[in-house]
Structure 1
Amino acid sequence: MTHNVTVGIDGSAPSAAAAEWAAREAGRLGLPLRMIHVAGTEADALERDLGGGAALPGRVADICDRVAAELPELDVTCEVQPGHPAFTLAAASGRAELLVLGSRGLGGFTGLLIGSVGLRTAGRSLCPVVLVRSEADGHDALDGDAAGDVVVGVESDRPADAVLEFAFRYAADHGVGLRAVESRTTSHDTYTTRAPVEQAEIREAMAAAEQLRLEDALAVRREKYPQVRTAAEVCPWSAGRALVEASRGASLVVLGRRTAKHPLTGPHLGPVAQSVLHHAHAPVAVVPHD
C-alpha cells in the first residue's frame, strides 16, 4: 500500500490553505503529496452556477502549481477524479497517512465554518483527517499558531490509544507542548453521605480523583514521549466549549471518532466533534479509533 498525505482541493481559499498545510506535513513526514480535485455532482452544480466550467479547474491548477513551485523537492501529484467529493475523498483515505481538507468549499455558506463535504468525509475517513481554515473564514488564528500547544480531548475512563498516540507524536515531531483536556460537569451536584463531610470537601475529593485518573490515562504516552511538555486539565465546562476555548493559540486540536461497530450504524460525527469543527480557532484533526 502506497502511503501519502492526501489533500482535497476545489479552488477555494480554504482548500488552498489546506494544500499548503498538507504540503508542509508531507515534507516533514517525507511522504508524497497527493492532491485530488473531485469533479462530481456538487462541483458540476457549482460550475453551472458560475456560468461555465473553466474557472474552477483553473483555480485548482493554480493551487497545484503554487505548491509545486514553493516546495520543488516534494513529490507532488494533482489529479481529477469523478464522484461525490465526500465519498471519493474518504475512499482515497485508505491509501493515505493523513487526509487534509479545507474548512469549506466554494459552494459553502459563509456562516458555516465547516461544510457538508468536510463533515461527511471526516465521519467516513479511514485515516486521520485534518480540517484547516483560512483567513477567508473571518476567524482569528484560523490556521493555528505554529508554536502553540497541541490540544487533545480525552475521556480518561476510556482513553483512545490511537488518538493519544497521534496527538503526542504530532507534538513531539513539531517540538511543542500538549494539553490534555477532559470535561467533567458534575461540580454543582449535591452528594448524599452519612459521614460528617461538607459538600465542598466531597467535590474537592472527586475533582482530585478525576485529575488523577486523567494523569494515569496519559502516563504511558508521557513515558514514551518524555520530550513533550504535558498539561492535564479537567474542565467544568461541556466538552465542546472546553476544547473550543483551549483551541485559542493552539497549533492543532485532536479529537477521536469511534468507528461504527454495526453496518447499520453508519459513519458519523458526534455533537462534540461537530461543535469543535465549527468553532475551533485552530486546525482540527479527527482520528478514527475502535
Structure 2
Amino acid sequence: MSHGVVVGIDGSAQSAAAAGWAAREAGRRGLGLRMVHVAGTEFDALERDLGGDTVVPEPVAAIRDRVTAALPGLEVSFEICPGYPAQTLAAVGGRAELLVLGSRGLGGFTGLLVGSVGLRAAARAACPVVLVRAGEDGLGEPSADVVVGVAGDRPCDAVLEFAFRHAAGTGSALRVVESRTTSHGPYATEAPVDQRQIRESLAAAEQLHLRDALSRWREKYPAVRAEAEVCAWSPARALVEASRSASLVVLGRRTPERRVTAPRLGTVTQSVLHHAHGPVAVVPHD
C-alpha cells in the first residue's frame, strides 16, 4: 500500500482538522494515508512494550475512526511511533509526497498559531509540509483560490509546480503574489519626478515580467486560471492578507547545500505560518 500522504495526530482539534485535510488530499491524489501518533521517547516506548499492548489514546482513536468512516474507500494505516514529535514526523514523512500537521500553538502569544512541533517539522522535512488550523473541516470541498508567494526574477520551479498542481487538482484559481519594495519604500527613486507615475510604471513592468515567468506553467496546466500580482506591501503582509480568501497559501523553503547548520525557516515563512488565516504549505527546494 502506498503511503503517499502522512498526517500526524495527537488528539487535538488542530490534528483532527489536519487529518481531514490529509485524507481528502490523499483521496484526490489516489494515494494511501498514513496516520502517525508520536507517543514519546524510545525509553517510554520500551516501558509500554514491556507492560503489554500499547493503548491508543481515546482522542487519537476518535480522529482515526472518524476519517476511516468518512472515506471508506481510502487506504488508511495507523501507527504509534516513539521519538520526539518534530524529528519523528519529519523522518516518517521523508519519503512521502506530503506531510500534514495541525498548526497547534502553545499559548501565551496572541495571534501566534503555530507551535514548535509544526515549525520544526516544516523546517526539517524533505517533503512539502502543510499546516492546518483547527476548525477547518478538511472533509469539505475547497472553494477558494490557491495563493503562492514568489520572489526574485526566477520564481522557484518546485514551489510553482506544487501550487499549480494543487490548483489543478482542486479546480481552484491561482494567485501568484510577488512583493516589490525597497528600503525607501515601494519602487522609490531619487529622481525629482512624479513618484506615483514611477511606481505605476515599475509595477506594470514587474507584473509583465512575472507573467512571462509563468507562461510555461500555464501551458503545462491550461485548466488553471492563474493571475500574477505585484504588490508594494512587505512579502509577509501581502501573503497574510491574501490568505483571508485562500484555501491554501504555498511558500518555499530553501534547503542548505550542506548540513552545516540547523534547519530553519525564513522570517517571511515564519510570519505567514503564525498569522495566516488558512492552511499553509511549505515546499522545500534547492
String of CA shifts for 1:70-128, please: whole Å, max 9, x gaps.
Answer: 111111111000001010011111221110000116xx226431000000000011111
String of CA shifts for 1:8-55, please: whole Å, max 9, x gaps.
Answer: 0001010011001111111111111100000125xx8xxxxxxxxx99
1:35 maps to which residue? Answer: 35
Distance 1:16 1:55 in 2: 19
Q: Unaligned 5+ residue runs, structure 1?
A: 45-53, 136-140
1:266 is the counterpart of 2:286 = no
Distance 1:67 1:110 in 2: 31
Q: How does 1:23-102 map to 2 (within 5 A)?
A: 23-40=23-40, 57-102=57-102
Distance 1:212 1:283 in 2: 29
1:228 is the counterpart of 2:241 = no
1:168 maps to which residue? Answer: 164
Opposite residue 243 of structure 2, the aligned amino acid is: S
Cα deviation, residue 202, structure 1 = 3.0
Contact 2:34 2:76 in 1 (8 A): yes
Quote the RMSD (CA, aligned, Å): 2.3
String of CA shifts for 1:210-250, please: whole Å, max 9, x gaps.
Answer: 11121122111011111111111111110000000001121
1:246 maps to which residue? Answer: 242
Q: TM-score of the superposition, structure 1-length normalised?
A: 0.86
1:109 maps to which residue? Answer: 107
Distance 2:65 2:90 in 1: 24
Question: How many pairs does the alignment contain?
Answer: 269
Contact 1:10 1:56 in 2 (8 A): no
Distance 1:55 1:181 in 2: 47
1:192 maps to which residue? Answer: 191
Contact 1:171 1:177 in 2 (8 A): yes
Q: How does 1:124-203 map to 2 (within 5 A)?
A: 124-135=124-135, 146-186=142-182, 187=186, 189-192=188-191, 198-203=194-199
Q: TM-score of the superposition, structure 2-length normalised?
A: 0.88
1:257 is the counterpart of 2:256 = no
Change (3 A) 1:2 1:23: closer
Distance 2:141 2:77 in 1: 28
1:217 maps to which residue? Answer: 213
Contact 1:34 1:77 in 2 (8 A): yes
